[in-house]
Chain A
Amino acid sequence: MPLIKNGDWADDEFATVADDAALPEGAVIVSLARFEKERAALLARNARLGVHLAAPQSPEALGEDVHRLSVVVLDFPAFKDGRAFSWARLLRTRLGYTGEIRAHGAFLVDQLAHMMRVGFTAFDGDARITPQALASALGEISYRYQPAPDGQKTIRQLRAR
Chain B
Amino acid sequence: MYRYDEFDARFVAERVEQFAGQVARRLAGELSEDEFKPLRLMNGLYLQLHAYMLRIAVPYGTLAPRQLRKLADVARRFDKGYGHFTTRTNMQLNWPRLADVPAILRELATVEMHAIQTSGNCIRNVTADHFAGATPEEIEDPRPLCEIIRQWSSLHPEFTFLARKFKIAVGATVHDRAALLYHDMAVEIVKNAEGRTGYRVSAGGGMGRTPYIAQLMCEFVEREDILAYLEAVLRVYNQDSRRDNIHKQRIKILVNAIGAEEMRRRVAREFEEIKAQGYLRLPQEELDRIAAYFAPPKFEPIAEPVAEYEAARTKDKRFADWCAHNLAAHRAPGYAIATISLKPIGGVPGDCTSEQMEAIADLMDAFGLAEIRVSHEQNLVLPHVKKRDLPAIFARLSELGLATPNAGLVTDIICCPGLDYCDLANARSIPIAQKIAGRFADLKRQEEIGELKIKMSGCINACGHHHAGHIGILGVDKKGVEHYQLQLGGSGAEDAAIGEIMGPGFTAKEITDAVERVVDEYLRLRQPGERFLDTYRRVGMEPFKNVAYLEQLHAAY
CB distance from B310 to the nearest CB of A (A): 48
Partner of A155, one of B15, B151, B279, B280: B151
B160 at the interface (CB under 8 A from A): yes
Chain B interface size, under 10 / 10 to 19 / 20 to 34 / 35 or more: 35 or more
Partner of B160, one of A90, A114, A128, A159: A114
B367 at the interface (CB under 8 A from A): no
Instruction: Give per-residue flags for B1-33: 1 if the beta carbon is below 8 A from chain A beta carbons, else 0.
Output: 000010110110011011001100000001000
Partner of A158, one of B7, B277, B286: B7
Chain B: CB-nearest residue to A77: B243
* Interface-centre pick from A55, A56, A146 (highest chain B CB count, 10 A): A146
- B154 near A89: Cβ-Cβ < 8 Å: no
- B286 near A118: Cβ-Cβ < 8 Å: no
- B157 near A140: Cβ-Cβ < 8 Å: no
Of the stretches A4-12, A13-21, A36-44, A78-86, the one at the interface is A78-86
Query: Given A82-B162, A85-B161, A118-B158, are A143 and B10 also a contact pair (CB < 8 Å)?
Result: yes
CB distance from A110 to the nearest CB of B (A): 6
- A85 near B38: Cβ-Cβ < 8 Å: no
- B239 near A83: Cβ-Cβ < 8 Å: yes
Bound-state CA distance A111–B42 (Å) is 13
B441 at the interface (CB under 8 A from A): no
Partner of A141, one of B18, B39, B163, B273: B18
Query: Given A85-B238, A110-B22, are A93 and B158 also a contact pair (CB < 8 Å)?
Result: no
Partner of B14, one of A111, A141, A148: A141
- A81 near B39: Cβ-Cβ < 8 Å: no
Bound-state CA distance A140–B21 (Å) is 10
Instruction: Give per-residue flags for A103-142: 1 if the beta carbon is below 8 A from chain B beta carbons, else 0.
Output: 0000010110111011000000000100000000000111
- Name B138-153 residues within 8 Å CB distance of A: 151-152
B86 at the interface (CB under 8 A from A): no
CB distance from B303 to the nearest CB of A (A): 43
Chain A: CB-nearest residue to B234: A86
- B38 near A140: Cβ-Cβ < 8 Å: no
Chain B: CB-nearest residue to A151: B279
Instruction: Give per-residue flags for A63-79: 1 if the beta carbon is below 8 A from chain B beta carbons, else 0.
Output: 00000000000000001
- A111 near B161: Cβ-Cβ < 8 Å: yes
- B243 near A86: Cβ-Cβ < 8 Å: no
Chain B: CB-nearest residue to A110: B39
Bound-state CA distance A56–B163 (Å) is 12
Please give, as numbers and ranges, the residues of chain B lying within 8 Å of A156 by CB-CB distance. 286
CB distance from A37 to the nearest CB of B (A): 24
Chain A interface size, under 10 / 10 to 19 / 20 to 34 / 35 or more: 35 or more
Chain A: CB-nearest residue to B30: A128
Partner of B5, one of A111, A113, A140, A159: A159
Chain B: CB-nearest residue to A81: B243
Bound-state CA distance A142–B22 (Å) is 17
CB distance from A146 to the nearest CB of B (A): 6
Please give, as numbers and ranges, the residues of chain B lying within 8 Å of A155 by CB-CB distance. 7-8, 11, 151
CB distance from A90 to the nearest CB of B (A): 8
CB distance from B293 to the nearest CB of A (A): 13
Bound-state CA distance A106–B239 (Å) is 18
Bound-state CA distance A94–B55 (Å) is 38
A58 at the interface (CB under 8 A from B): yes
Please give, as numbers and ranges, the residues of chain B lying within 8 Å of A114 by CB-CB distance. 155, 157-158, 160-161
Query: Given A81-B161, A111-B161, are A145 and B152 also a contact pair (CB < 8 Å)?
Result: yes
Please give, as numbers and ranges, the residues of chain A lying within 8 Å of B154 by CB-CB distance. 145
Please give, as numbers and ranges, the residues of chain B lying within 8 Å of A115 by CB-CB distance. 157
Bound-state CA distance A143–B17 (Å) is 14
- B161 near A146: Cβ-Cβ < 8 Å: no
A147 at the interface (CB under 8 A from B): yes
Chain A: CB-nearest residue to B150: A145
Please give, as numbers and ranges, the residues of chain B lying within 8 Å of A142 by CB-CB distance. 10-11, 14
- A146 near B17: Cβ-Cβ < 8 Å: no
B542 at the interface (CB under 8 A from A): no
Bound-state CA distance A86–B11 (Å) is 24
- B155 near A141: Cβ-Cβ < 8 Å: yes
A144 at the interface (CB under 8 A from B): yes
Chain B: CB-nearest residue to A155: B7
Please give, as numbers and ranges, the residues of chain B lying within 8 Å of A128 by CB-CB distance. 30
- B286 near A82: Cβ-Cβ < 8 Å: no
Partner of B157, one of A108, A118, A159: A118
- Name B256-299 residues within 8 Å CB distance of A: 273, 277, 279-280, 286
Partner of B238, one of A79, A86, A140, A145: A86
Bound-state CA distance A79–B14 (Å) is 23
Bound-state CA distance A155–B6 (Å) is 10
- A148 near B158: Cβ-Cβ < 8 Å: yes
CB distance from A75 to the nearest CB of B (A): 12
B156 at the interface (CB under 8 A from A): yes
Query: Given A143-B11, A159-B7, are A86 and B156 also a contact pair (CB < 8 Å)?
Result: no
- A82 near B238: Cβ-Cβ < 8 Å: yes
- B161 near A79: Cβ-Cβ < 8 Å: yes
Please give, as numbers and ranges, the residues of chain A lying within 8 Å of B18 by CB-CB distance. 140-141
Please give, as numbers and ranges, the residues of chain B lying within 8 Å of A110 by CB-CB distance. 22, 39
B92 at the interface (CB under 8 A from A): no
- B279 near A147: Cβ-Cβ < 8 Å: yes
B300 at the interface (CB under 8 A from A): no
Bound-state CA distance A111–B158 (Å) is 10
B248 at the interface (CB under 8 A from A): no
Chain B residues at the A interface, C-beta cutoff of 8 Å = 5, 7-8, 10-11, 14-15, 17-18, 21-22, 30, 35, 38-39, 121, 151-152, 154-163, 235, 238-239, 243, 273, 277, 279-280, 286
Contacts A155-B11, A155-B151 supplied; 9 other A-B pairs, CB < 8 Å: A83-B243, A86-B239, A113-B157, A114-B155, A117-B158, A141-B11, A148-B157, A148-B158, A155-B7
**Would you mind naming 25 contact pairs between A and B with Cβ atoms under 8 Å apart?**
A56-B243, A82-B121, A82-B158, A82-B162, A82-B163, A83-B239, A85-B158, A85-B160, A85-B238, A86-B158, A86-B238, A94-B273, A114-B160, A117-B157, A128-B30, A140-B14, A141-B18, A142-B10, A143-B7, A143-B10, A145-B152, A145-B154, A146-B156, A155-B11, A155-B151
Chain A residues at the B interface, C-beta cutoff of 8 Å = 55-56, 58, 79-83, 85-87, 89-90, 93-94, 108, 110-111, 113-115, 117-118, 128, 140-148, 155-156, 158-159
